[in-house]
Amino acid sequence: MTAVGLLLLTAYCSPLTVQAQYAQPPVGPVPTGKSNEVLKQVNIEQKLGSQIPLDLKFRDETGREVRLGEYFGKGRPVALTLVYYECPMLCNQVLNGAVGAFQALSFTAGKEFEVVTVSFDPREGPDLAAEKKETYLRRYKREGAEEGWHFLTGDEASIKALADAVGFRYAWDDESQQFAHASALMVATPGGKLSHYFYGIDYAPRDLRLAFVEASEGKVGSPVDSLLLFCYHYDPAVGRFAPVMGALRVAGVLTVLGLVALILYLRRVTRRREEEWEQELSVGGPV
C-alpha cells in the first residue's frame, strides 16, 4: 500500500464520520382511536437480494405507459422511493431528504444513478407526478437530471405488486382520511435486485454514495470509494454503513509502522549527515 493510500485509508476509516440513520422507519401520520389498529399494518420489511418485478406497468409524468424495467439495465444503480404526491407531511420530507442527499453527491441522476419515485395512491395521476417532478428538479439544479429522476403513477394492482416486492407496508386510515405509511429510500442494482434500505427522512450522502458504488459493483465511483468500502460495511439491522473494526485496526497498525519507519529513516539520514560534516571539519582543520 502506498503512503497516499495509507493516509486515505486512515482518514476515511474514522468512525466519527458516520452519520446515524433511524434504526426503524418512522411512521406517519400517527392515527388515534380506532385508527391505532391501522399502525399494525404499517412497516418496511427488508427484502435484500429480492428481485423487483420489472415487467410492472405504470405511467410516467407525461402520461406515457412505461414498464418499470425501462429504468433498470443501464449499468446504473437505482434509488427507489414510494410516496404519495398529496401526502400532507411525511412524503414531502422523504423527497426533501432525498434531494438534499443527491445535491451533496458528485454523482448526478441520469449519469451515475437513476431515481424512481412511485405514488402508492392509485387515485393520483400524471398531472400530480409532473408537478412533483418540476418541484424537485428545480431544487436539485443538476443539468440533465430530468432524464434520470422519474415520477410514476399506476393502478392498484401494479402498486401493490411493487410494494409487496420491496416490503413496503401501508394502509388507508378512514379516520384521518390519509395513508399511514413508513418512510425509507431503497437502492437496487442495475438488474433490479434490492441491495440497501435507508430509513427515515435524512439520508447520509456518504452512505448513499457507498450504496451506489456497492450496488453497481464498482462501475460508478473512484478508487477512494473502494477504500471506503474496505472501511465500511452495510448493516441492514440499522440501515446504514458501519465501520469495519478490522479495517480500522489494520489502518492503525499500518499508520504506526509507517511513522516508526519514517522516524528511523530520518534519524539515519541525520546521523549520516553529522558524520559527513565531522569528516569535512577534520580534513579542513580549524579556521
CATH number of 110's domain: 3.40.30.10
Judged by average pLDDT, the poorest of 65-79, 203-217, 219-233 is 219-233
Kindly tell me if the per-residue pLDDT of 27 is higher than 90.
no
The reply to whether 78 falls in a domain is: yes
The reply to whether 263 falls in a domain is: no
Please tell me which residue, 25 or 240, carries the higher pLDDT value.
Answer: 240
The reply to whether 99 falls in a domain is: yes
pTM: 0.73
Over the chain, what HEC string results?
CCHHHHHHHHHHCCHHHCCCCCCCCCEECCCCHHHHHHHCCCEECCCCCCECCCCCEEECCCCCEEEHHHHCCCCCCEEEEEECCCCCCHHHHHHHHHHHHHHHCCCCECCCEEEEEEECCCCCCHHHHHHHHHHHHHHHCCCCHHHCEEEEECCHHHHHHHHHHHCEECEEECCCCEEEEECEEEEECCCCEEEEEEECCCCCHHHHHHHHHHHCCCCCCCHHHHHHHHHEEEECCCCEEEECHHHHHHHHHHHHHHHHHHHHHHHHHHHHHHHHHHHHHHHHCCC
The reply to whether 44 falls in a domain is: yes
The reply to whether 121 falls in a domain is: yes
Number of domains comprising the chain: 1
Kindly tell me if the per-residue pLDDT of 43 is higher than 50.
yes
Kindly tell me if the per-residue pLDDT of 239 is higher than 80.
no
Kindly tell me if the per-residue pLDDT of 92 is higher than 70.
yes
pLDDT, position 226:
53
Which residues form the domain of 67?
A: 22-203
The reply to whether 227 falls in a domain is: no
The reply to whether 60 falls in a domain is: yes
173-189 mean pLDDT: 91
34-49 mean pLDDT: 81
The reply to whether 215 falls in a domain is: no
